[in-house]
Amino acid sequence: MSGIVAEKRSWAEPYKIKSVELLRMTTRAERESIIAEAGHNTFLIKSRDVYIDLLTDSGTAAMSDRQWAGMMVGDEAYAGSENYYNLEAAFHEHYGYRYLVPTHQGRGAENILSQLLVKPGDYVPGNMYFTTTRLHQERAGGTFVDVIVDEAHDPNSEHPFKGDVDIGKLDRLVRQVGAQRVPYISLEANVNMAGGQPFSMSNLRELHGYCQTHGILVMLDGTRVIENAYFIKEREPGYASKSVKSILREICDLTDGATVSAKKDLLVNIGGFLALNDEELFKQAQNLAVIYEGLHTYGGLAGRDMEAMAQGLREAVMETHQAARIGQVRYLGEKLQSAGVPIVKPIGSHGVFIDAAAFLPHLDRDEYPAQALAAAIYVEAGIRAMERGNVSAGRDPQTGDNRRPNLELVRLTIPRRVYTQAHMDVTAECIARVHAQRDKVGGLRMTYEPEYLRFFQARFEPIAAR
Ligand code: P70
């Protein structure tokens, strides 16, 4: 009985495993040549060369038997597929917005929304940037302005709602440029680049009031909004006894529409949508959808994908699911913390974010510490993580200089329902070994830089062997 305490109650995965995918292990020598060939960019490594894949939680979930059953009832009619109407019903029940435009993934919805609402010279405030979201706003002629609370930029702040909007910052922008040049605020749930940090309902309510007064729309990036709802239930006074499903509905009721990448919360491998309440905007969005996505009743998706999404939504609001999902991420984060690895606090929902600037203090930001650390983690144990720092932030369109954000992070992203606690143990041990030899990790120089979203395809080489 040693180690088992009578009062302790652990959580366990609320499912059992029916089908598995075998993993392949490589040798260190193989990984050293693989990372060099991939230009020290984990996006450029082949999946077959990865042991534990923590690149992203996007499209990587294990679907349930019921979702797979849904794939078998795909109605692949070009127009008016049965699965579209099933998805629409689940969408109305859970999110409550009036109108649905399915898209091939989240950025498809961002493209349509930005084209509809952003005019050249406009400003789009947001609670921290997201890479694809900001790019669509900029390509429509807008300028993104960060209005998140200051704590979000501090990896050590324990603020429970680091995704909150600083209404004072928003108000300063509105006074400076005029509300007519601010079409909407882009409000992201569980802010990805801040470390998966939620906003609070009280902040959203205040924001909603402010925006109504000034005639500014609130557009939610609801990609991880169900996980945000779970944090509200856990942390915000008055919400402990409310269901995740009802909190989700309350959030949506305080916003005017949403873009969603269904590849996260909704437990599917592909899909997304744009949600709107305004009928006129909806008609225009449906019209743009036929240019970029497909007919408005499939938006680039197969009928079966929409059926899997509808079922994924029903499973995503289950509290047992969220408890295990967020519990698993927390398990890994706490292991890393006890090994002395600097991570973003509080531990977020979709991954553990290592503070690469604190991990590798000997590197300058323009030597890309997070990129170098992600590469070193891969070489150590075949674990694939993602850079979320200076490379991801890109260049300032005005000055052309690297943006050098305060947060220089490596994201260990946990796919939903895919890995076990033992995989988390192996991951934590790998990172602890790299940490013990951190002074051996050298910086990188960028040798190829694509124009857009450079982090996906950029290539690097070591500056010098240390
Ligand atoms: C990730 C993925 C996608 C995403 C997101 C938020 C908050 C929109 C989207 C776009 C994939 C990714 C995307 C860009 C850079 C790195 C990785 N996030 N909003 O891994 O959705 O991918 O479906 O077009 O997180 O975080 P989609």
Q: Average pLDDT, stretch 184-193?
A: 98
Kindly state the DSSP code that residue 150 receives in the 8-state scheme: G
- pLDDT of 5 reads 82
* DSSP sequence for 158-209: --TTTT-B-HHHHHHHHHHH-GGG--EEEEESSBTTTTSBPPPHHHHHHHHH
- Tens-place pLDDT, residues 338-377: 999 999 999 999 999 999 999 999 999 999 999 999 999 9
- Residues 302, 76 contacting (CB under 8 angstroms): yes
CA atoms within 13 A on the CB side of 377: 34
pLDDT at 416 exceeding the cut of 50: yes
Report the alpha-carbon distance of residue 290 to residue 300 in Å, rounded: 9
For the CA of 392, the closest atom of ligand 1 is 15
Instruction: Write out residues with Cβ below 6 Å of ligand 1.
Output: 56, 58, 105-107, 130-133, 188, 192, 221, 223, 261, 263, 272
Q: Which residue, judged by its Cα, is nearest atom 22 of ligand 1?
A: 106
From 261, 329, 452, the mutation candidate for ligand 1 (largest count of ligand atoms within 8 A of CB) is 261
pLDDT at 70 exceeding the cut of 90: yes
For the CA of 350, the closest atom of ligand 1 is 26
Q: Which residue, judged by its Cα, is nearest atom 15 of ligand 1?
A: 131
| 132 CA → ligand 1 middle, Å | 7
- Residues 187, 207 contacting (CB under 8 angstroms): yes
pLDDT at 271 exceeding the cut of 70: yes
- Tens-place pLDDT, residues 110-140: 999 999 999 999 999 999 999 999 999 999 9
| 264 CA → ligand 1 middle, Å | 9
What is the percent of the chain where pLDDT is above 70?
99
Q: Which residue, judged by its Cα, is nearest atom 11 of ligand 1?
A: 58
- pLDDT of 118 reads 98
- pLDDT of 8 reads 83
Q: Average pLDDT, stretch 240-260?
A: 98
- pLDDT of 2 reads 56
- pLDDT of 48 reads 98
pLDDT at 4 exceeding the cut of 80: no
State the CB neighbour count (10 A cutoff) for residue 246.
Answer: 12
3-state class of 296 per DSSP? coil
pLDDT at 465 exceeding the cut of 70: no
From 60, 223, 265, the mutation candidate for ligand 1 (largest count of ligand atoms within 8 A of CB) is 223
3-state helix, strand, coil in the chain (%, to 5): 45, 15, 40
What's the pLDDT band for 426 if we cut at 50, 70, 90?
very high
Q: Which residue, judged by its Cα, is nearest atom 20 of ligand 1?
A: 56
Mean pLDDT of the residues in the chain: 97
Q: Which residue, judged by its Cα, is nearest atom 18 of ligand 1?
A: 58
For the CA of 190, the closest atom of ligand 1 is 7
Phi, psi of 366 (to 5 degrees): -85, 5
Active site (catalytic) residues:
78, 130-131, 221, 264, 388, 455
pLDDT at 466 exceeding the cut of 60: no
- Tens-place pLDDT, residues 436-456: 999 999 999 999 999 999 999
| 256 CA → ligand 1 middle, Å | 21
Q: Average pLDDT, stretch 204-226?
A: 98
- pLDDT of 397 reads 86
Q: Average pLDDT, stretch 148-163?
A: 98
| 175 CA → ligand 1 middle, Å | 31
From 226, 264, 268, the mutation candidate for ligand 1 (largest count of ligand atoms within 8 A of CB) is 264
Q: How many helices (H) and strands (E) does the chain have?
A: 16, 14
Omega before 346 within 30 of 0, i.e. cis: yes
Q: Which residue, judged by its Cα, is nearest atom 8 of ligand 1?
A: 106
